[in-house]
Amino acid sequence: MRIAVSHTTSYRSDPPSRAIQALRLVPPGLRSQKVLAWELRVEGAEAGLRYTDAFGNQVALAASHGPVAEVIITAEGVVETQDTAGVLGFPAEAVVPAVCLRETPLTAPDAAIRAFAVSCRRETALATLHALLDGLHEAVAYQPGTTASSTTAASAFAARQGVCQDHAHIFIAAARTLGLPARYATGYLVTDQAQAPAHHAWAEALAPDIGWIGFDPANGQCPTERYIRLAVGLDALEAAPVRGVRLGGAAEWLDVRVAVQSQSQK
Amino acid sequence: MLKTQAYSTGNDTVCFDEMLRADFSARDCYRTLHEWLQRQTPGGIRAKQAEADAIFRRLGITFAVYGAAEANERLIPFDLIPRVISAAEWRFLERGIEQRVRALNAFLHDIYHRQEIVRAGRIPSEMVNGNSAFLPQMMGFDPPRGVYSHIIGTDIVRTAEDGFFVLEDNLRTPSGVSYMLENRETMMHLFPELFAAHRVAPVERYPELLRQTLQSVAPSGCDGEPTVAVLTPGIYNSAYFEHAFLADQMGVELVQGSDLVVEDGALWMRTIRGRARVDVLYRRIDDAFIDPLNFRPDSMLGVPGLFDLYRAGRVTLVNAPGTGIADDKAVYAYVPDIVEFYTGEKPILRNVQTFRCSIAEERGHVLENLEELVVKEVHGSGGYGMLIGPRSTRQQRAEFAERIRANPGNYIAQPTLALSTCPAFAGSGIGPRHVDLRPFVLVGDRVRVVPGGLTRVALKKGSLVVNSSQGGGTKDTWVLED
pLDDT at B62: 56
> For chains A and B, what is the number of CB pairs under 8 angstroms?
84
The mean pLDDT values, 10 residues at a time, for chain A of 266 residues are 90 87 96 97 94 97 92 93 96 95 96 98 97 96 89 96 96 98 95 70 96 97 96 96 72 67 62
Mean pLDDT of B115-124: 96
Q: How do strand B454-457 and strand B473-479 relate by DSSP bridges? A: antiparallel
Residue range B291-338, pLDDT digits in tens: 999 998 888 889 999 999 999 999 999 999 999 999 988 899 999 999
ipTM over 0.90: yes
Q: Which chain A residue has the Cα nearest residue B267?
A: A63
Per-residue pLDDT at B242 exceeds 80 = yes
Asked if residues A135 and A129 have their Cβ atoms less than 8 Å apart, the reply is no
Asked if residues B153 and B438 have their Cβ atoms less than 8 Å apart, the reply is yes
Nearest to B255 by CA among B265, B263, B267: B267
Measured CA to CA, the distance from residue B291 to residue A53 in angstroms comes to 15
The answer to whether residue A259 neighbours chain B at the CB level (below 8 Å) is: no
Identify from A23, A50, A51 which residue to disrupt to test chain B contact, counting B C-beta atoms within 10 A and taking the largest count. Answer: A51
Nearest to B466 by CA among B455, B476, B480: B455
Helix, strand, or coil (residue A207):
strand
Of chain B, the end-to-end C-alpha distance in Å amounts to 30
Measured CA to CA, the distance from residue A220 to residue A135 in angstroms comes to 9
Are A48 and B265 inside 8 Å of each other by CB? yes
Read off the pTM.
0.92
How far is A200 from chain B, CA to nearest CA, in Å? 22
Fold of A87-238: C8orf32 fold (3.10.620)
Q: Which helix (H) or strand (E) holds A252?
A: strand A251-262
* Strand partners of residue B230: B254, B282
Q: Would you list the DSSP string of B54-118?
A: HHHHHHT--EE-TT-SS-SEEPPPEEEEEEEE-HHHHHHHHHHHHHHHHHHHHHHHHHTTT-HHH
Q: Which chain B residue has the Cα nearest residue A95?
A: B139
The answer to whether residue B263 neighbours chain A at the CB level (below 8 Å) is: yes
pLDDT at B4: 57
Q: How confident is the model at residue B390 (pLDDT cuts 50, 70, 90)?
A: confident
Environment class of B67 (CB within 10 Å of its CB; exposed 0-12, middle 13-18, buried 19+) = exposed
| Ranges for all domains in chain A classified under CATH 3.10.620.30 | 87-238
Asked if residues B147 and B448 have their Cβ atoms less than 8 Å apart, the reply is no
Out of 3.30.200.20, 3.40.350.10, 2.60.40.2250, 3.40.50.300, which CATH number does the structure's domain A2-80+242-265 have?
2.60.40.2250
Which of A54, A63, A98 shows the shortest C-beta gap to B140?
A54
Residues 150-169 of chain A whose Cβ lies under 8 A from any Cβ of chain B: none
Asked if residues A188 and A260 have their Cβ atoms less than 8 Å apart, the reply is yes
Q: Which domains does chain B have, with CATH numbers?
A: 220-314 (3.40.50.11290), 353-415 (3.30.1490.270)
Per-residue pLDDT at B128 exceeds 90 = yes
Mutual orientation of helices B240-250 and B206-216 as an angle, nearest 10°? 80
Measured CA to CA, the distance from residue A32 to residue A214 in angstroms comes to 10
Per-residue pLDDT at B5 exceeds 60 = no
The answer to whether residue B307 neighbours chain A at the CB level (below 8 Å) is: no
